[in-house]
């Protein structure tokens, strides 16, 4: 089986990570590579690590360039995917790594992103109940945000089992690559190194409605979310801490059993041995989420900590995982579970 794949937005971090993974995929032939302002340049100028593709010239991101491929990955800025996807036929599997098709509620889209809601596609976290069935043979897939991927997997089992009240606090530390490759003063090394800072505080981050959507679906009732992202002086990785008040006398052992039951068959989600806590360095380059949990009896809260590589499981790896499902391939094909350490 040979799958011809195009990547739009190939010069960015998500596009580069997609290509790194696709180069190791045994069923993939890499076709068109496109970009916006970097069209006409060689891929190697932006991703010198991708030696097999270094001399490929990036084309303009147009439907004409992308047609004729079996799969098109859209690693584009928010608001740019819908128009391109609308020009591609149903015979092409289109996987959007941006936010255009993640939200179900049109009012949420208009509030957080502006403009007309472009519609909702099957949501690309296969580990959620019922998700695999929706993703198999889907020709349109919305890849989640990097924060929602790890934070949803960290707390969905607790909400689904009724272990906690529907009032979740999420504090997530992220590396700078999550903000993309565009030049921004607050991401300069002189600003980031030796410092940690918050942003999008007080419900101002665009991933908040996605977390509310996912948590409410898991709980079967509306869930409130207080989400605070923290920028840390590292390139990639997310460490999320999720907590909520306990319902009843839940013990750590009882909560742990819920998580082990939920994820025991999952190849990419790992509940760590007792006493071992997630760290971002263990997930770098891997399509994995590491989890650990405990009950804080004094505060009467469940605490769940999760780690992922925001560019791999949080974006590109999750996208390739969804492609495998859509095309009927083994879900793990071409996806690493071993991180790069030290």
Start-end of CATH 3.40.50.720 domains in the chain: 3-143+315-327
Position 194 pLDDT exceeds 90: no
| Residue 285 to residue 86: CA distance in whole angstroms | 32
Each residue's pLDDT tens digit, 4-44: 999 999 999 999 999 999 999 999 999 999 999 999 999 99
Closest CA to 268 of 213, 325, 199: 325
Higher pLDDT, 107 or 180: 107
pLDDT score recorded for residue 319: 98
Each residue's pLDDT tens digit, 219-278: 999 999 999 999 999 999 999 999 999 998 899 999 999 999 999 999 999 999 999 999
Average pLDDT over every residue of 304-318: 97
Each residue's pLDDT tens digit, 79-96: 899 999 999 999 999 999
Position 183 pLDDT exceeds 60: no
Q: Any idea which architecture 3-143+315-327 has in CATH? A: 3-Layer(aba) Sandwich (3.40)
Phi, psi angles (nearest 5°) of residue 291 = -130, 150
Start-end of CATH 3.30.360.10 domains in the chain: 147-308
Q: Strands 28-35 and 3-8: what pairing?
A: parallel
Q: pLDDT-based confidence at 332, cuts 50/70/90? A: very high
Higher pLDDT, 194 or 104: 104
pTM of the model: 0.95
Contact 72, 92 (CB under 8 A): yes
Contact 11, 47 (CB under 8 A): yes
Catalytic residue among 97, 146, 242, 322: 146
pLDDT score recorded for residue 251: 97
CA Rg, the chain, in Å?
19
Higher pLDDT, 68 or 185: 68
Closest CA to 302 of 158, 128, 166: 158
Per-residue b or e along 293-324, where b marks 16 or more CB atoms closer than 10 Å to that residue's CB: bbbeeeeebbbbbbbbbbbbbbbbbbbbbbbb
pLDDT score recorded for residue 27: 97
Each residue's pLDDT tens digit, 120-170: 999 999 999 999 999 998 999 999 999 999 999 999 999 999 999 999 999
Per-residue b or e along 136-164, where b marks 16 or more CB atoms closer than 10 Å to that residue's CB: bebbbbbbbbbbbbbbbbbbbbbbbbebb
Position 180 pLDDT exceeds 70: no
Average pLDDT over every residue of 172-196: 73
Note if 146 is an active site residue.
Answer: yes
- The yes/no answer on whether domain 147-308 falls in CATH 3.30.360.10 is yes
Q: Strands 28-35 and 301-308: what pairing?
A: unpaired
pLDDT score recorded for residue 192: 74
Written as six digits, the tokens of 309 are: 């590589």
Q: pLDDT-based confidence at 342, cuts 50/70/90? A: confident
Phi, psi angles (nearest 5°) of residue 167 = -140, 95
Position 184 pLDDT exceeds 90: no
């Amino acid at each position: 089986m040979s799958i011809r794949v195009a990547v739009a937005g190939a010069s960015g971090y998500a596009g580069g990570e997609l290509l790194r993974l696709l180069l190791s995929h045994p069923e993939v032939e890499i076709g068109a590579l496109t970009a916006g302002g970097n069209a006409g340049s060689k891929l190697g100028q932006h991703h010198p690590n991708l030696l097999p593709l270094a001399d490929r010239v990036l084309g303009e991101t147009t439907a004409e360039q992308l047609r004729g491929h079996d799969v098109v990955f859209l690693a584009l800025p928010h608001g740019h995917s819908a128009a391109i996807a609308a020009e591609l036929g149903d015979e092409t599997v289109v996987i959007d790594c941006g936010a255009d098709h993640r939200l179900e509620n049109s009012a949420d889209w208009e509030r957080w992103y502006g403009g007309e809601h472009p519609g909702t596609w099957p949501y690309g976290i296969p580990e959620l109940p019922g998700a695999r069935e929706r993703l198999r043979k889907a020709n349109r897939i919305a890849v989640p945000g990097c924060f929602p991927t790890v934070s949803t997997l960290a707390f969905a089992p607790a909400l689904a089992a009724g272990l906690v009240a529907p009032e979740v606090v999420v504090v997530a530390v992220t590396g700078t690559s999550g903000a993309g490759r565009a030049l921004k003063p607050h991401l300069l090394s002189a600003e980031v190194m030796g410092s940690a800072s918050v942003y999008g505080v007080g419900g101002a981050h665009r991933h908040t409605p996605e977390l509310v959507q996912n948590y409410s679906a898991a709980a079967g009732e509306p869930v409130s979310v207080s989400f605070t992202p923290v920028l840390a002086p590292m390139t990639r990785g997310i460490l999320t801490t999720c907590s909520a008040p306990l319902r009843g006398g839940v013990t750590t052992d009882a909560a742990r059993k819920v998580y082990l039951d939920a994820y025991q068959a999952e190849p990419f989600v790992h509940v760590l041995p007792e006493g071992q806590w997630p760290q971002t360095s263990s997930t770098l380059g891997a399509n994995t989420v590491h989890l650990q949990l405990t009950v804080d009896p004094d505060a009467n809260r469940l605490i769940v900590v999760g780690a992922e590589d925001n560019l791999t499981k949080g974006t590109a790896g999750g996208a390739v995982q969804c492609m495998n499902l859509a095309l009927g391939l083994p879900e793990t094909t071409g996806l690493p579970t071993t991180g790069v350490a030290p």
